[in-house]
Amino acid sequence: MARDTSELREELNKLSAKQKAELARTLIDSLDEDLDDDVEQLWIDEAARRFEAYRRGEMSSRPVAEVFVRARARLRR
């Protein structure tokens, strides 16, 4: 019998941070199994394209701390 997600959430909140991280990794890995085999190479190609655009002066950069602050703010919305 499947559990209600609210029951699972309540139980999961009782786990330690380390246990939650391990579970999160397991869940993410299980999602990755369904990805197309070419996805990783596509991301590598995209990263290389962006890096070359940056080197040519076509893209700017930001400090990583600023990027994470902005990303966290967007996730809280």
Residue 1: is its pLDDT beyond 70? no
Q: Which of 24, 2, 1 is nearest to 12 (CA)?
A: 24
Whether the model clears a pTM of 0.75, i.e. scores above it, the answer is: no
* Residue range 33-75, pLDDT digits in tens: 767 778 889 999 999 999 999 999 999 999 999 999 999 999 9
The set of residues, in sequence order, having a beta carbon less than 8 Å from that of 59 and lying 6+ positions away, is 50, 53
Q: Are 23 and 12 spatial neighbours (Cβ–Cβ below 8 Å)?
A: yes
> For the chain, which residues make up each domain, given as ranges?
1-34, 36-77
Q: Is the dihedral of CA 6, 70, 63, 49 positive or negative?
A: positive
Q: Quote the CA–CA distance of 4 and 11 in Å, as a whole number.
A: 11
